[in-house]
Amino acid sequence: MKRIILRNRVLLASLLILNVLMGTRFILSRSVHPLLKRPPPFPHFAPKRFPKSHPCPLWSPSFSFCLATLHKPTTPTIPSSLSSRSCSSLSATAMAASAAADEALAANPLLQDFDFPPFDVVDARHVRPGIRALLKELEGDLEELERTVEPTWTKLVVPLEKIVDRLTVVWGLVNHLKAVKDSSELRSAIEEVQPEKVKFQLRLGQSKPIYNAFKAIRESPDWQTLSDARKRIVEAQIKEAVLSGVSLEDDKRDEFNKIEQELERLSQKFSDNVLDATKKFEKLITDKNEIEGLPATALGMAAQTAVSKGHENANAENGPWIITLDGPSFLSVMQHARNRALREEIYRAYVARASSGDLDNTPIIDSILKLRLEKAKLLNYNNYAEVSMATKMATVEKAEELLEKLRSASWDAAVQDMEDLKNFSKSQDAPEADDLNHWDISFWSERLRESKFDINEEELRPYFSLPKVMDGLFRLANMLFGIDIEPADGLAPVWNIDVRFYRIKDSSGSPIAYFYFDPYTRPSEKRGGAWMDEVLARSHVLSRDGTSARLPVAHMVCNQSPPVGSKPSLMTFREVETVFHEFGHALQHMLTKQDEGLVAGIRGIEWDAVELPSQFMENWCYHRDTLMSIAKHYETGETLPEETFLKLLAARTFRAGSLSLRQIRFASVDLKLHTDYVPGGAESIFDVDRRVSERTQVIPPLPEDRFLCGFSHIFAGGYAAGYYSYKWAEVLSADAFSAFEDAGLDNSKAVKETGNKFRETILALGGGKAPLEVFVDFRGREPSPEPLLRHNGLLATASV
């Protein structure tokens, strides 16, 4: 799950703008004003002065009590003078309470005029009052916009962008903290105010005055004079308003709104269940023989986990060790544990996450699918996939066509992969050789990789220390895109001491963007996977000085192994690819030159194009100069041996057919569940998965496989009827990288020229131009799947 990042991202129409930008994260996942000077201490505190409270104010929680007391008649048993004093006392109490509430709001960091979000001080107690006060303020802004709206840019889009951005930034801050610093208190606070936030989103998305004003702009004589970006904004706003229910009659609109509220609640609950189920599983191991084969880094991580759970004397050598279902822990067991029974136990636990007891996501999935279908019907679509595709490059038919083309190209290779594993395990006298199961695949794949290419993932870790990887990544960005990246720690508040903050400068030395990087796993509070999302978007409307655009800010979040003792974080090659992937997302957000805030950076880009720059950046991990610049032994400084690089290159297509089928399974079951699946019918969601797996998995899933209960991309992220986007964008990204191959990867001048062209098109234009047009601007033609199949070593078996 790359995670995304998203968590997310298409902020175009009122409802979807807010849903996507505040939800996901890039899974795709997910306000700086001048950002040009170091702010004073606590820059995020520039308190707005709220009005002084009056006795018994209408907005005071004690209003009704105070009012009743003031007008309560005296009785013969209570002297009037005493009654008067009592009321005065109560009034004073009410005034004091109201003043205290106003003072608390004035100090609430969510309501401050900050340059960088106050990640370090926001906690659960700020969420309820802060979000409610913000929604009240924005409701007033929306009413004012509807009262004064005209079909002009300054009277419609400018005030709309300010409303959308304010909520996007503040809710994004809160939602981000939930993803990286989860707590029961924060969860409870978000759950309580979320329906109120959704209610406002629906109110905004269904505003007929705004909808009619956008239609009037499109129908006006000035339409042809608008820039491409502004036309995109108008067209998308109209389309998304319809998808938000603006055209529905009263009863149907009420039904639609109830569905949206419930979908939001269910999505949040799904995500919480996955996180809780992952945290809940712990396996304590005291006998080192049980974890034979685990590399030193995995043992160190397992011992650190044990220490955090109260085993104070735990260490890598003598234990005890705690295995969890968090990504690095799970994968280390699957790939390296010789104890087959342990692998089976951990695998079964992983594919059964959130599928039983209080954390069972099965009924939640059923409800989500039922409500999505009802929503589609209300909008006059046949199924939810059609709703999803309404804002994407592809259609259902085109997506299915691509998946089938890739499936057929991958199947024979995947079958051969399995035969290779059987033969190899048999040659190693493995008792399970004739009965390989899911918990054997990763283990024997690693052994075969080591044998075939003489590459051991764990032995490569010392060459990939996080500081060296980031230095090399930044040098690559400089070469390709002419930017400089420098640490700016201390300039902005962070949510954890391990979070780094960076500044990006252009060739003139001027800052053009900033980003946070949170690299390490924290299973007790941070959700798994990796993602990128926006913190703030580039915008001329939200400029501090009215001249220069507000600069974009992003965050990148990963879950790799943390430093152990004096050792830095030593990365697997896959973790290196992950960092490059998320940085690609961040670059598209940060290097945008689009000043129209609603389509700047990752905003407004069709979802199936959004993975293009991220997957494009992964290709550079196999570029010799790039890899050699980051692969330095953390102790000796020795560069990765040339022969090892060549082996890595040769291993790139290792089990490519199997890995391709895995993604195709996920994408296909997603489309099936959102097209022809009937919620509540004879076929269960797991029946659909098994049916899809017959054509996409060489080994069928276990009967008890419940991976869907942890499939957050489509049930708690932005990828519903959109997971195919990974393969769709993979075609685009492979073809984009082939432009550099055509230019000559050893020709530095040609690489720089092609990199500049990539920056000026793919990275610069944001959502201001249709992605197919942007691709053609860069490549000179429409995309072809040939480079992807060639990179994966599958071209010979495909009929393209």
> Reduced to 3 states, what is the DSSP secondary structure of residue 253?
helix
- Round to whole Å and give the CA distance between 405 and 747: 34
Angle at 193 between CA 244 and CA 198, to 5 degrees: 0
**Nearest Cα residue to 42 out of 98, 147, 113:** 113
Please report which residue ranges of 697-770 form alpha helices under DSSP H: 712-715, 725-743, 748-758
Name the residue type at position 607. W
Distance CA 615, CA 373 (A): 32
SS3 of 213-225: the string is HHHHHHHCCCHHH
The owner of tokens 């992003």 is 554
The Cα–Cα gap between 675 and 374 comes to 13
* 582 in active site: yes
| Cα(177)–Cα(309) distance, integer angstroms | 23
Gyration radius from the chain CA atoms: 28
* DSSP 3-state of 513: strand
Q: How far apart are CA 462 and CA 576, in angstroms?
A: 12
Q: How far is CA 568 from CA 91, 396, 520, 560, in A?
A: 61, 46, 11, 12
| Cβ proximity of 15 and 244 under 8 Å | yes
Cβ(530)–Cβ(5) below 8 Å: yes
Q: Is 54 helix (H, G, I), strand (E, B) or coil?
A: coil
Residue 274 · residue 712 · CB < 8 Å? yes
| Token digits of residue 194 | 């979320």
Q: How far is CA 282 from the centre of its chain?
A: 26
Six token digits for residue 273: 């269940």
Q: What are phi and psi of 485, to 5 degrees?
A: -120, 125
Could you give the angle at the alpha carbon of 400 between the alpha carbons of 399 and 401, nearest 5°?
A: 90
Distances (CA, A) of 645 to 633, 634, 788: 14, 17, 21
- Conformational region of residue 374, where left means phi above 0, alpha means psi within -120 to 50, and beta covers everything else: alpha
Q: Output the six-digit token pair for 40.
A: 């004073």
Written as one string, the DSSP assignment of 586-653 is HHHHHS-----GGGSTTTT--GGGTTHHHHHHHGGGG-HHHHHHH-B-TTT-PBPPHHHHHHHHHGGG
Packed helices 362-378 and 250-280: angle between N→C axes, nearest 10 degrees: 160
**Max alpha carbon distance in the chain (Å)?**
102
Residue linked to tokens 């957000």: 589
Catalytic residue among 582, 596, 611, 730: 582
Q: Is 655 left (phi over 0), alpha (psi -120 to 50) or beta?
A: left
Dihedral (Cα; 556, 561, 567, 572), 10-degree rounding: -90
Q: Which has the closest alpha carbon to 344: 451, 448, 442, 449?
A: 442
Alpha carbon of 527 to those of 272, 421, 591: distances in Å? 9, 33, 28
Phi, psi angle pair for 87, to nearest 5°: -65, -40
Count of all residues that appear for the chain in the document: 800
Q: Kind and range of the H or E element at 258?
A: helix 250-280
- Residues catalogued as catalytic: 582
